[in-house]
Structure 1
């Protein structure tokens, strides 16, 4: 299958390599030409995983977005949510009917990007899909090398608009056999693990993060008190899902940590594999890191706003969002990705469900 991968981060490099090795024709686009130059020159990426180290030649690495997107059945965008609005503007003139755009995870970016496409006058009939996590546990060593320490075994995925689900899942399964269909894109957005796992880890570890040169939030930073906050926050997510009519499995975060629990997105024992190696040590500048700007400012703010829209109490989420706002000096409930800023706060549940099913073209969204 012809696949376009958009981005230059951990997930994009991992997807380009993995999909190529699974027999697909992969074209990789990145906007930062200077950082991308080594891949452009070699048309290869180095990869390290349980099979060892090797160099993989991809079909095309390019900074020409049209060249990469044209003719692709599937467009994989494993980029932080903060990039989605600007990227949608760039994609608007080059998208084609029938393409499937995959956001792993999406943070309800399927709706946001669709709205931008409509605002930009894009007429292409595309489907978006978003899931609860990246298909890979991956880290780049440098601009030519990626390490993949795990692959998702279950990817709960919803489609926007959901009436195009059948065609979208037919395409998605060719690339990601572990995909599990769920109701719609909001169902997928509320599977996103990032806004549950990362806000407690960075905020409750803020002292050691800013003090020590090296601090692994996933290892020594994951203690009982933090796990308890994870559980409380995740229970609020699940109550929101239930209020919207979404049913089990809810993929509770506890299953990621408990080997005896139901298989989570990366399979049993994934947490132990994650903390065994050195891949997950990384610098954390709290005001700018993606855990703050994506998982808090987009994901957690969205969760709080949906809870308030539904009149579902979310005290843990609200408290963490308030603390994060103090850390960054910005009211993230006002500036973040929220029902209000997505122009959805005035909708009823029935109206939102119809939008999720039918899409945006027939609605006034200005």
Structure 2
């Protein structure tokens, strides 16, 4: 089993470090020349859940990274999924598995794009509901803080699994498969949590205040707003013919801790206690989770005629606040793919 990781951020490197310990052949595709130069000269120090040091097995050759892989693990920004698929498509070959981690509609976008190609190779397309690792890469790219690993991974797969299940079982003791990639994307926990907490702590973020994201800044009323958004997410899934677990149930399963309510699940989780709030408005909580996560829910509520006032207000308010009027992330073409794969 050969793994190629497309992307070289914190979670991609956490995967590379973990696979290195498990003796799974792995290489990381790196586009950033500064990162490549750094890792060419010195090893990456990993601390926390894993304590190790390794020379990052990277390549700057996309063709090589794609062609040599049995499983292509895409760990990029969700807004880049379409461009990633377009770039790797010429090098894909029969029998490979394209895995989006975390999914965030990556499988749907890939299906839509690859279906338009003549003589497209026979590959499997999979995605996970969430990232199994929590990690943070230092600004000089030399140290990775490996904070936590989740207890359960939910995933979907279109086509033959091959060694995918084996790989996922290496990363978590519990692995559950769902029938549709729409289920995995709609089961993502991060968008509702991250975007809601950002909105109600916006001045702290703008002022560069250092605060714990799941500490005093997360009040019972903020958690209640998250629960309202979660109810709307579940209603959207129902309109699509999907039965989705609640945010609380997903968190309890992911971390192996049973909490009675969402507020306790977020504020009492030891893995979350050290998570700091965003340092500015450019991080993934807003640049990715807002348009791709919460925005996709807003899009589906419109297309499926489901009332979602909390989600709509959240997306529209933040979009206007940030000076970027909201534009749809999911299209009617994506919806047709979603419905065809139920």
Q: Check whether TM > 0.5.
A: yes
- Aligned-partner SS, 1:274: coil
1:360 equivalent in structure 2: none
CA distance 1:151–1:129, shift in 2 (3 Å): same
Query: CA 1:312 to 1:172, structure 2 compared with 1: closer, same or farther past 3 Å?
Result: farther
Whole-angstrom distance in 1 between the partners of 2:83 and 2:72: 16
1:199 to 192, 195, 200: 195
User: 1:317 and 1:113, CA in 2 relative to 1: closer, same or farther beyond 3 A?
Assistant: same
- Counterpart CA distance in 2 for 1:165 and 1:228 is 41
> How many residue pairs get matched?
332
Of 121-130 and 69-78, more deviation after overlay is shown by 121-130
Aligned-partner SS, 1:276: coil
The match for 1:190 is 186
Report how far residue 35 of structure 1 moved: 2.5
CA distance in 1, matches of 2:142, 2:197: 29
Instruction: Report if aligned partners of 1:100, 1:129 keep a CA contact under 8 Å in 2.
Output: yes
Q: Which residue number in structure 1 is paired with residue 310 of structure 2? A: 316
For residues 70-106 of structure 1, give each alpha carbon's deviation from its aligned partner in whole angstroms, at most 9, with x where no partner exists.
2311111122101112211221111121111211222
| 1:179, distance to aligned residue in structure 2 (A) | 2.6
Using the size of structure 2 for normalisation, the TM-score is 0.88
Q: Which residue of 2 aligns with 1:20?
A: 20
Q: Tell me: CA distance 1:304–1:276, structure 2 relative to 1, closer, same or farther (3 Å).
A: closer
Distance 1:352 1:67 in 2: 32
Distance 2:221 2:249 in 1: 14
- Over 3 Å counting, the alpha-carbon distance change for 1:193 and 1:4 in structure 2 is same
| Equivalent runs, 1:204-219 vs 2, <5 Å | 204-219=200-215
Q: What runs of 5+ residues in structure 2 fail to find an aligned partner?
A: 258-264
Q: Partners of 1:254 and 1:105 in 2: how far apart?
A: 18
1:291-310 matched pairs, under 5 angstroms: 291-310=285-304
What SS class does the counterpart of residue 27 from structure 2 fall into? strand
**1:55-94 counterparts in 2 under 5 A?**
55-58=53-56, 60-94=57-91
The answer to whether residue 91 in structure 2 is matched with residue 105 in structure 1 is no
Corresponding residue for 1:260? Answer: none
Q: What residue number does 1:223 align with? A: 219
Secondary structure of 2:247's counterpart equals coil
User: 1:175 deviation in Å?
Assistant: 4.4
Separation in structure 1 between the aligned mates of residue 86 and residue 77 of structure 2, nearest angstrom: 16
For residues 205 and 291 of structure 1, the distance between their equivalents in structure 2, rounded to whole angstroms, comes to 12
Q: Is 1:153 equivalent to 2:151 in the alignment?
A: yes
How far is the alpha carbon of 1:120 from its aligned partner?
6.0
Q: 1:126 to 1:12 in 2, by over 3 A?
A: same
Superposed displacement of residue 165, structure 1 = 5.1
In structure 1, C-alpha distance between the alignment counterparts of 2:250 and 2:185, rounded to whole Å: 18
What is the CA distance between 1:200 and its match in structure 2? Answer: 0.6
Deviation at 1:57, TM superposition (A): 4.1
